[in-house]
Amino acid sequence: MDLHDFLTLIDDNSLQGMIIGISTLVFWIFDSIFGVPKIMMKMFYNFVEVVLKKKIKHKWIDAESRHLSESDIKKHDIFNYLNFWIYSKVPTLVFSSDYRTSVFRNYLTIYLKTHKTHFKQFLDDDNYKKMSDTELWSGLLGLINEIIYQYESEMKINNIPIIVIEKMKIINNDKISLTINLMESVCNNTFYNSENNYLKIYSILNIYLAILENTINMSVNVCDSINGQLH
């Protein structure tokens, strides 16, 4: 199973395709951080490959058959999830102490709100519609860099402990590298060509949705790893 096949799964609108695709991405992230026994990796990817080949045999996803509109982009599920995480999930997260709970809730809120604001601005500008593959890739890379700079700066202003920012940065760096590689593949792959770059943007938002959720889930492990450095 190569990257193109993996992204095909992520981009599929069916529940089966989305579950398998996002599960693969999360498994891939988990492996990059903690390492997974090779036999487990092989079993997992063999399973995904069998399902993928069956899906492709019966239904090849043609970019021209995906009639995406601007509404599909601006009302992408990532924004519903961001709102849910910011206003419902994060405020109910509980960590190992009251202080840590407060710190990590603040961290995640700033992290998610920054993504929401910048994603929305990027899409509202509409410049992505006229971009070439290279321009789109460059624009998205610049967007990621700006998001990281903004949320880390705001965290420091809001007195988030440096140890928390640094520990989360270590975890995030692996996912950012993966995200960048996946986005570059989408931008440069003609399979995702469509009117106004809708299919490429839609696919990238699907990928980023899994990345953001993984960051929330990993925050508990990061908190526990700090030991006595944070009271």
Structure tokens at 210: 């899994």
In this prediction, residue 133 carries a pLDDT of: 93
* Mean pLDDT for the stretch of residues 208-230: 84
pTM: 0.72
In this prediction, residue 127 carries a pLDDT of: 92
Task: Give the residue with greater pLDDT, 16 vs 168.
Answer: 168
Closest listed residue to residue 52, CA positions, set 91, 24, 33, 76: 24
Cα gap 14→2, rounded to integer Å = 20
Which amino acid, residue 154?
Answer: E
pLDDT tens digits, 58-96? 333 444 445 788 988 998 989 999 999 999 999 999 998
68-72, 138-142, 223-227: range with highest mean pLDDT: 138-142
Per-domain boundaries in the chain: 1-61, 69-229
Summary mean pLDDT of the chain: 78
Q: Do the beta carbons of residue 174 and residue 29 sit within 8 Å?
A: yes
Instruction: Tell me: pLDDT of 156 over 70.
Output: yes
* CA 199 to the chain's CA centroid: 16
Confidence class for position 25, pLDDT limits 50, 70, 90? low
pLDDT tens digits, 41-62? 445 444 444 444 444 333 334 4
| DSSP code string of 122-139 | HHHH-GGGG--HHHHHHH
H helical segments located in the chain: 3-11, 15-34, 38-58, 70-74, 77-84, 98-125, 133-157, 162-187, 198-225
In this prediction, residue 157 carries a pLDDT of: 96
